[in-house]
């Protein structure tokens, strides 16, 4: 499940880049298609993340605080990605969302790789 989780958020980063690039260069229709695929990928991130949470109900203890922050940071990252894509679609600046994206993403990755115990199985 960690592999699916990592694959799905790496895919989200790629799709975000492609969607923003397409919108920026006026290619609204292909941009919209990539944006829709990006939204489907959000479901994959949530599903794989949710399944990983399941492991914590089966005996892992002592990480509740960090797990809660990790999940909030993950959801916050997804929200920021969606907002960046929307701003690109409307051709509006997304600076504040980019900042939030980087902060939330770094928190999610540091806690996921650095602190939480599951690791790549
Ligand atoms: C784009 C957003 C996200 C990023 C960048 C991200 C990043 C990561 C990373 C780097 C790991 C460590 C993988 C490993 O253990 O080898 C991880 C694990 C995990 N993620 Fe996410 N994640 C995101 C979204 C979410 C969401 C939305 C949830 C909850 C619904 C979630 C729940 C978890 C859980 C429970 C783990 C296992 C922690 C552990 O290693 O013990 N993540 N995530």
* H helix intervals, 26-94: 28-56, 64-89
Q: Does residue 15's CB lie within 6 angstroms of at least one atom of ligand 1?
A: no
What is the domain range of residue 62?
A: 2-115
Q: Tell me, yes or no, whether 15 lies in a domain.
A: yes
Count how many domains the chain has.
1
Q: Tell me, yes or no, whether 91 lies in a domain.
A: yes
The confidence score (pLDDT) of residue 71 equals: 98
Q: Tell me, yes or no, whether 103 lies in a domain.
A: yes
Q: Tell me, yes or no, whether 111 lies in a domain.
A: yes
User: Could you tell me if residue 120 is left (phi over 0), alpha (psi between -120 and 50 degrees) or otherwise beta?
Assistant: beta
Q: Tell me, yes or no, whether 61 lies in a domain.
A: yes
The confidence score (pLDDT) of residue 58 equals: 85
Q: Does residue 62's CB lie within 6 angstroms of at least one atom of ligand 1?
A: no
Q: Does residue 104's CB lie within 6 angstroms of at least one atom of ligand 1?
A: no
Q: Tell me, yes or no, whether 74 lies in a domain.
A: yes
Distance from C-alpha of 40 to C-alpha of 27, rounded to nearest angstrom: 20
Q: Tell me, yes or no, whether 120 lies in a domain.
A: no
Question: What distance in angstroms lies between residue 49's CA and the mean position of ligand 1's atoms?
Answer: 6
Q: Does residue 38's CB lie within 6 angstroms of at least one atom of ligand 1?
A: no
The confidence score (pLDDT) of residue 121 equals: 52
- pLDDT tens digits, one per residue of 29-42: 999 999 999 999 99
The confidence score (pLDDT) of residue 59 equals: 77
Q: Tell me, yes or no, whether 121 lies in a domain.
A: no
Per-residue pLDDT of the chain (121 residues; tens, 9 = 90+): 889 999 999 999 999 999 999 999 999 999 999 999 999 999 999 999 999 999 888 878 889 999 999 999 999 999 999 999 999 999 999 999 999 999 999 999 999 999 898 876 5
């Amino acid at each position: 499940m960690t592999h699916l989780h990592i694959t799905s958020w790496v895919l989200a980063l790629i799709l975000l880049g492609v969607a923003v690039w397409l919108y920026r260069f006026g290619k609204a229709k292909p941009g919209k298609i990539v944006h829709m695929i990006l939204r489907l990928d959000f479901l994959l991130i949530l599903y794989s993340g949710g399944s990983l949470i399941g492991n914590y109900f089966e005996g892992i203890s002592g990480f509740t605080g960090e797990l809660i922050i990790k999940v909030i940071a993950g959801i916050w990252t997804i929200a920021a990605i969606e907002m960046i894509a929307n701003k690109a679609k409307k051709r509006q600046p997304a600076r504040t969302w980019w900042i939030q994206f980087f902060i939330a993403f770094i928190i999610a990755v540091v806690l996921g790789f650095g602190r939480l115990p599951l690791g790549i199985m």
